[in-house]
Amino acid sequence: MVTLLTDSIGRVSALARAARKSVKRFGGVIEPMHTLRISYDDRSGAELVTLREAKLERARPFLTTSLERMQAAGQALSWVRKAAPPRTPEPEVWAALEALLDQLEDPDDTVSPRARLAASGLRLLSAFGWGVDFERCVACGKEATAGQSARIDATRGGLVCRACGGARRQLSGSERSLFRDAAAGGALNDQIAPLALELVEQALKAHGGIE
Ligand SMILES: [Zn+2]
């Protein structure tokens, strides 16, 4: 049994009979990190689909040569596997994940895998409808002054202004702007990546108990 994230029906569990042995039907392509073109049987009411055929649509052989790239890809896949509801198309999640895997496959990418993962985490949160608000207080809606630092509580989904009690973590104005851009597809640097990852993990935990 394999878990697939598909562009058309979202996350789905599939039965791949003798997948690892059946070179004829699956060509040994059922490994994570690659994008496949599949055909399957879907009996109504059945929880599982049955995989008929799988071909490589976009292989990512370079990604699998680096432990750091593999770890970044694996973490993102794990987030999506836990956060994506079954059989619900999530085109933005699909796009964010494909973009990350393509970046991790690019040998000339100058951004580190961990920084790519951190930015993708923020983008995935937005794609799931759990985007962290780096502009406004989640309690009263008051907008933070552009360029100014503000308090943030990712478990509550964004900034918490002083009048509403504030929060432990402070973000500078430039951090807020970098994170907002990353959620829309921008890149982060190594210095700021750990903070972004911390916020992503807090938000995922608050939304779905995802760790
Ligand atoms: Zn407030």
Note whether 76 and 98 are within 8 A (CB): no
2 CA → ligand 1 middle, Å? 45
- How many domains would you assign to the chain? 2
Residue 32: the pLDDT is 83
Write out the residue range of the structural domain in which residue 36 sits: 1-59
Rounded distance from Cα 172 to ligand 1 centre (Å): 17
| pLDDT of the chain, 211 residues: tens digit per residue | 889 999 999 999 999 876 556 656 666 667 789 999 999 998 877 778 999 888 899 999 999 999 999 999 999 999 999 999 999 999 999 999 999 999 999 999 999 999 999 999 999 999 999 999 999 999 999 999 999 999 999 999 999 999 999 999 999 999 999 999 999 999 999 999 999 999 999 999 998 777 7
Q: 193 and 118 in contact (C-beta within 8 Å)?
A: yes
* pLDDT computed for residue 21 by the predictor: 60
pLDDT at 8 (0 to 100) = 92
Predicted local confidence at residue 198, as pLDDT: 97
The answer to whether residues 42 and 78 belong to one domain is no
Domain C-terminal end among 10, 41, 59: 59
Q: How far is the CA of 208 from the centre of ligand 1 (A)?
A: 24
CATH of the domain at 30: 2.40.50.140
CA distances from 144 to 71, 126, 181, 195 (A): 35, 20, 16, 20
Q: How far apart are CA 98 and CA 149, in angstroms?
A: 33
Task: Indicate whether this model's pTM tops 0.75.
Answer: yes
How many angstroms does the Cα of residue 128 sit away from the middle of ligand 1?
24
Question: For the domain that residue 150 is a member of, what is the CATH number?
Answer: 1.20.1440.120
Return d(Cα 97, Cα 76) in angstroms, integer: 7
